[in-house]
Structure 1
């Protein structure tokens, strides 16, 4: 005998399905861009495309699991599905991501990442922007110098990196 909860659990969950499809599209883009990476025949088995291929495969597997879960009714409990979207918080998270894209070229990786971190923290409910900025600064500098010094990859030096002698 099916109860109401059993019926709800077997319904198709469109929002979760769309998330799975979006993630599958991201996996396809990663794969497409990985195929465009020039690989020298000097590399034996491990080259510059190993980690991007692993990322594409991981994203594809995760997206397929999310799609299957959506077809089985979704992964959210019923009471969470009825919770209204907090559009103000969502706007701050999206604003943080857009700010990073817009500011990375003129300000550099670190400053843009700090702005993004503070906006996203506020979107998630933080009321401590100074603390968030300091945490964001430490994380962004660690990421920047990890890429710049350890890997030799320039991910966007700006005024903060210049002041620190990058």
Structure 2
């Protein structure tokens, strides 16, 4: 343990600050008294706590000098094709969530993201995306009573 590494410590403090900001904003979410134990803020509180915990872990690692930096000669190149797939997925999701609904828009987002990360099996990716998005939709719509984009497909199911 030489001394604290400043760039890593600043990143760790930034993650902690982000977690604290998320925690503060979560406390400002209005919660209906009809929620007994599990309400719409539960996941936000968990995510805030995890961000703060991650920041603390990163701070400890920077203090101990456990982070290893990439070699200086490492060249970082932008993969424009992967970025294009990610942007396409986001644009499709934003543009189609209203008319088509949450599930189809999220399936397209998942498939485009998988393609950006190198997947060459779009049918499999769409099936996985369907399972995830349908689970998320029904978790929010049926269990919590929150509408996150009901469309044609959600009306049939």
Same fold, TM exceeding 0.5? yes
Shift of 1:82: 2.6
TM-score by length of 2: 0.70
Runs of 5+ unmatched residues, structure 2:
none
Shift of 1:126: 0.4
TM-score by length of 1: 0.67
Q: Distance in 1 between matches of 2:7 and 2:29?
A: 37
1:137 equivalent in structure 2: 130
1:57 equivalent in structure 2: 49
2:27 equivalent in structure 1: 35
Aligned length: 154
Q: Distance in 1 between matches of 2:21 and 2:151?
A: 28
Q: Which structure is higher in helix share?
A: 1
Shift of 1:107: 2.6
Runs of 5+ unmatched residues, structure 1:
1-5
Q: Distance in 2 between matches of 1:114 and 1:19?
A: 33
Q: Deviations over 1:15-69 (max 9, x none)?
A: x954862x4454234223222123578988x564455333312211212323443
Contact 1:39 1:47 in 2 (8 A): no
Q: Say whether residues 1:113 and 2:106 are aligned partners.
A: yes
Q: Distance in 1 between matches of 2:75 and 2:64?
A: 20
- The alignment's C-alpha RMSD in Å is 3.7
Q: Distance in 1 between matches of 2:153 and 2:112?
A: 19
Secondary structure at 2:98's aligned position in 1? helix
When residues 83 and 124 of structure 1 are mapped into structure 2, their CA distance, relative to the original with a 3 A threshold, is farther
